[in-house]
Amino acid sequence: MSAAKDPGPVETAMKEKLTALLNPIDITIRNDSWQHRHHPAMRQCQGGGETHFSVDIVSEAFKGKTTMQRHRMIYSVLSEEMANKGLHALSLKTKTPEEIATATTSRREVE
């Protein structure tokens, strides 16, 4: 559960930049900062900051790239937010549409 109902400026910038770079088929960004409200940076902003996010993204741009390469793409485009906007941590799930389709097919076969 997120403390903020509407996306803040960091989350908004993240979505805009990731969408421009990766043209995702699906993107979900969750502000997990409230779970880290005991951290010093969060205490300074009374727990309402934008420091920790989970990002699930599906994009053709990841095709042929390793997980490390995919994560580097994301960290590179969000370097301003990391350096100057308080973004501290990302939990990333980066998939291609084919990987999602394969996972869905595998789950159906098990059922």
**pTM reported for the whole predicted model:** 0.80
Residue 25 has what pLDDT?
A: 98
Residue 59's pLDDT is what? 98
More confident site: 75 or 32: 75
Candidate CATH numbers 3.30.300.90, 3.40.50.1950, 3.40.50.2300, 3.40.640.10; the one for domain 9-110: 3.30.300.90
Residue percentage of the chain with pLDDT more than 90? 58
At residue 78 the predicted structure's pLDDT band, cuts being 50, 70 and 90, is: very high
User: What pLDDT was estimated at residue 28?
Assistant: 98
Is residue 3 predicted with pLDDT exceeding 50? no
Give the model's pLDDT for residue 6: 85
DSSP string of 28-60, one letter each residue: EEEE-GGGGTTSHHHHHTTT----EEEEEEE-G
Cα separation of 61 and 69, whole Å? Answer: 11
Task: Name which of 89, 86, 64, 71 is nearest 18 in CA terms.
Answer: 71
Q: Is the distance from CB of 99 to CB of 65 less than 8 angstroms?
A: no
Amino acid present at 45: C
CB atoms within 10 A of CB 94: 21
